């Protein structure tokens, strides 16, 4: 009995620890959060169903082929990290103690650490401003300097930083002149191109990373690629502890435990299938920032070089350190793009101000009690663009796919404004027209595109663009779709009303604060719920 009590106590403490960790993580803004494409689970399940849960297996073999085909190279070896891939590339080139390797200076430590694994000496080459990558001018000077010393480097590690290709024509011309091989650290640039050719395919060897923050991820993993299939074969041998082909354990060379597992590779197979969509989303994010900051002369988004297409892995900007750019300046710029320009000149009557306050308070209060919508950043009744006010939400993760629960709760949050107007003022206004438009579009897509209606079933139906579907499903399908859309909207509206009735005191309190202050922050909003 005592053992059971102790176990229950430990389980309770662990649950509390996990909950605290989750709360902390919810407040964290990730550099580049991972995403799931939807197919990963099927490949992982296949690995379990066939008992291929150890290193190597069909997923590993197929993932290697799929990455090689995607980037247009002869062969690839799936490994545990991008760092291990660089290490094996260095080993394949015969780099040893006393040798010199040129390396990009603006990069993560993993680009150069493998040089020191082999006790060689890294020499860092300055970057150019246009791409933030290795400067061909600086590389040329370094070669001239070491040529005079009579000791040329044994390799050059070129990094394609933040998903932007380096100037490979000029870099390869210099390296080829001195007959020095190139290792491309394309850890961040899978999917990026230089003059139509994928990064990682110009040099003797290329490497990719599938760390959790990369354009696609396997949780942790990497890939070594080359047109030299014999070298890749050798890399696989070293990566599996250099075990000789014998009936017993025999090792005539030093090996490493570097091979990717079959389960991890299954994640990668699902991820590689959505990489182009992922790049499109990352480009959208970059362009959104660029538009937001265009009127702030002291913030410059990173240059996109005309010689290629980046994968936009990370949206970066340079800030004039002589100027006092504040977080408020950045927030205001982002608000201008997403919501519109503040219009302090627009005079609101007391009646309109009260209506707007209750409308936005309705959105905020309803959202506060919905798990997927509760993170409120700011509530305002200052007109912006065409909107009389707005409720702004925090964005803590970069998501490409949305669950049914989140979409249903989005409907409820959208209808909170109208529900509040009706409940408190016993009247309705035109202010909710955009809310209805967005809500109806979401509900329609849930029913017709995403297959989220139990009544319609898991079907994708687009009667406008594909009228032939009328012949398949019959004319009655349109009526059924309309009924389902209306049902979703009606149920969402009823839930919004119920939340507001339950928390009507908070609704009044928030509306009063908005009428007085016009704008409230996240902290001020949460204070309302402290007592």
Domains in the chain (CATH in brackets) are 40-273 (3.40.640.10), 276-334 (no CATH), 343-527 (1.20.58.760)
pLDDT at 413: 92
Which backbone phi and psi does 368 adopt, to 5 degrees? -55, -30
CA atoms of 106 and 183, how far apart (whole Å): 16
Distances (CA, A) of 222 to 69, 175, 187, 277, 354: 16, 25, 8, 21, 57
pLDDT for position 489: 92
Q: How buried is 235 (Cβ within 10 angstroms: 0-12 exposed, 13-18 middle, 19+ buried)?
A: buried
Tokens matching residue 167: 């100037």
Residue in the block written with tokens 């990558």? 133
Give the whole-angstrom CA distance, residue 363 versus residue 415. Answer: 7
Cα separation, 256 vs 237, in Å, equals 9
Q: Nearest 5°: phi and psi at 124?
A: -90, 130
CB 292 within 8 A of CB 333: yes
Q: DSSP letters of 172-236?
A: HHHHHHTT--EEEE-TT-TT-EETTEETTSSSSEEEEE--TTSSS--SS-EEEEES-HHHHHHHH
DSSP state of 123: E
Say what the pLDDT of residue 40 is: 81
Report the alpha-carbon distance of residue 173 to residue 514 in Å, rounded: 64
Residue among 298, 364, 306, 402 nearest 503 (CA) = 364
The DSSP code for 249 is: -
Contact 369, 529 (CB under 8 A): no
Q: Do 127 and 135 touch, CB atoms closer than 8 A?
A: yes
pLDDT < 50: residue spans in the chain:
24-25, 345, 468
What b/e readout covers 120-132, taking b as 16+ CB neighbours within 10 angstroms?
A: bebbbbebbeebb
Predicted pLDDT at 57: 86
CA distance 302 to 161: 11
The pTM of the full predicted model, rounded to 2 decimals, is 0.67
Burial zone of 39 (CB within 10 Å; 0-12 exposed, 13-18 middle, 19+ buried): middle
Residue 210's pLDDT is 95
Q: What is d(CA 229, CA 234) in angstroms, rounded to the nearest whole number?
A: 9
Q: Can you tell me the distance from the alpha carbon of 442 to that of 447, in angstroms, rounded to the nearest whole number?
A: 9
What is residue 280's predicted lDDT score, i.e. its pLDDT? 93
First to last CA, the chain: 40
Provide the pLDDT for residue 490: 93
Measured at the CA of 357, the angle between CA 352 and CA 362, to 5 degrees, comes to: 125
pLDDT of residue 351: 84
pLDDT of residue 31: 65
């Amino acid at each position: 009995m005592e053992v059971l009590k102790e176990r229950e106590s430990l389980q309770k403490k662990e649950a509390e620890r996990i909950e605290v960790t989750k709360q902390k993580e919810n407040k964290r803004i990730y550099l580049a959060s991972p995403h799931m494409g939807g197919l990963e689970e099927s490949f992982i399940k296949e690995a379990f169903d066939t008992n291929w849960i150890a290193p190597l297996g069909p997923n590993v073999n197929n993932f290697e082929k799929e990455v090689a085909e995607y980037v247009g190279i002869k062969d690839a070896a799936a490994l545990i990290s991008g760092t291990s891939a660089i290490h094996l590339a260095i080993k394949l080139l015969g780099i040893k103690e006393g040798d010199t390797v040129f390396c990009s200076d603006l990069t993560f430590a993993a680009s150069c650490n493998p040089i020191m694994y082999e006790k060689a000496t890294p020499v860092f080459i300055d970057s150019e401003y246009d791409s933030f990558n290795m400067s061909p001018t600086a590389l040329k000077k370094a070669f001239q300097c070491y040529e005079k010393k009579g000791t040329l480097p044994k390799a050059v590690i070129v990094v394609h930083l933040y998903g932007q290709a380096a100037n490979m024509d000029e870099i390869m011309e210099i390296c080829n002149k001195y007959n020095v091989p190139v290792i491309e650290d394309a850890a961040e640039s899978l999917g990026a191109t230089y003059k139509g050719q994928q990064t990682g395919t110009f040099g003797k060897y290329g490497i990719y990373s599938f760390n959790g923050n990369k354009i696609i991820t396997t949780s942790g993993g990497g890939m070594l690629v080359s047109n030299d299939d014999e070298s890749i074969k050798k890399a696989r041998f070293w990566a599996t502890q250099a075990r000789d082909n014998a009936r017993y354990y025999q090792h005539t060379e030093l090996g490493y435990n570097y091979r990717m597992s079959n389960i991890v590779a299954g994640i990668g197979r699902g991820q590689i299938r959505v990489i182009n969509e992922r790049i499109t989303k990352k480009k959208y994010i970059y362009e959104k920032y660029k538009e937001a900051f265009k009127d702030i002369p002291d913030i410059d988004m990173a240059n996109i070089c005309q010689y290629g297409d980046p994968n936009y892995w990370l949206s970066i900007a340079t800030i004039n350190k002589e100027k006092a750019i504040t977080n408020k300046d950045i927030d205001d710029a982002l608000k201008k793009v997403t919501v519109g320009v503040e219009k302090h000149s627009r005079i609101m009557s007391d009646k309109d101000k009260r209506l707007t306050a209750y409308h936005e308070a309705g959105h905020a209060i309803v959202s506060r009690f919905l798990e997927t919508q509760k993170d409120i950043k700011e509530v305002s009744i200052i007109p912006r663009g065409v909107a009389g006010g707005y409720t702004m939400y925090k964005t803590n993760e970069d998501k490409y796919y949305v669950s049914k629960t989140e979409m249903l709760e989005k409907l409820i949050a959208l209808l909170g404004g109208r529900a509040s107007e009706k409940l408190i003022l016993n009247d309705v206004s035109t202010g909710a027209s955009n809310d209805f438009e967005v809500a109806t579009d979401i509900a329609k897509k849930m029913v017709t595109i995403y297959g989220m209606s139990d009544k319609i079933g898991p079907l994708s139906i687009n009667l406008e663009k594909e009228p032939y579907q009328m012949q398949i499903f019959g004319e009655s399908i349109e009526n059924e779709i309309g009924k389902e859309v209306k049902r979703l909207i009606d149920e969402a509206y009823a839930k919004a009303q119920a939340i507001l009735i339950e928390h009507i005191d908070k609704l009044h309190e928030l509306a009063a604060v908005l009428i007085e202050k016009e704008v409230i922050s996240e902290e001020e909003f949460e204070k309302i719920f402290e007592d």
